[in-house]
């Protein structure tokens, strides 16, 4: 669950954090704790970044809070286990790369239909990627 830890900052990641509602609930609970300065959630990758005052939050309390958070996360059986929140994005990125390479090969070999089709797929995936990164319109 803890993927990054430095004094005053901890990043948690779990498939159970891919739900915006779960992140909002946990953010509210953490923000109310003494010593917690900021909580940022990212449901797209299933992570929470917690910034805290190390003088007010001892390591034992941090470990207890992490255990409590793990118990609050929804069960990730079924559909969530088959497709984590990162899997779709990784798949799209690989497809974008493959379509770009296929487009170039089609152009070099003179395969007009392959070049146009692969270029269109790559363009659509790149537009979706940018749209997702910018957070919509």
| pLDDT mean values, one per 10 residues, the chain (137 residues) | 81 81 83 87 86 83 74 58 58 82 88 89 86 68
Say how many residues make up the chain.
137
Please report the pLDDT score of residue 82 as a whole number: 44
What pTM does this model have?
A: 0.54
CB 58 within 8 A of CB 16: no
- Radius of gyration, alpha carbons of the chain: 20
- What pLDDT does residue 81 have? 43
For residues 72 and 16, give the distance between their C-alpha atoms in angstroms, rounded to a whole number: 9
Q: Is the dihedral of CA 70, 72, 78, 84 positive or negative?
A: negative
- Calpha distance 15→46 (Å, rounded): 6
């Amino acid at each position: 669950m803890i993927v990054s830890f430095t004094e005053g900052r901890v990043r948690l990641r779990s498939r159970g954090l891919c739900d915006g509602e779960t992140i909002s609930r946990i953010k509210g609970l953490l923000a109310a704790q003494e010593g917690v300065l900021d909580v940022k959630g990212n449901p797209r990758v299933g992570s929470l970044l917690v910034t805290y005052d190390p003088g007010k939050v001892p390591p034992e309390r941090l470990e207890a809070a992490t255990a409590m958070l793990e118990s609050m996360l929804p069960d990730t059986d079924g559909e969530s286990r088959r497709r984590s929140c990162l899997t779709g994005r990784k798949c799209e990125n690989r497809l974008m790369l493959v379509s770009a390479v296929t487009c170039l090969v089609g152009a070099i070999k003179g395969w007009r239909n392959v070049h146009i089709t692969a270029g269109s797929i790559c363009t659509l995936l790149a537009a979706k990627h940018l749209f997702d990164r910018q957070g919509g319109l």
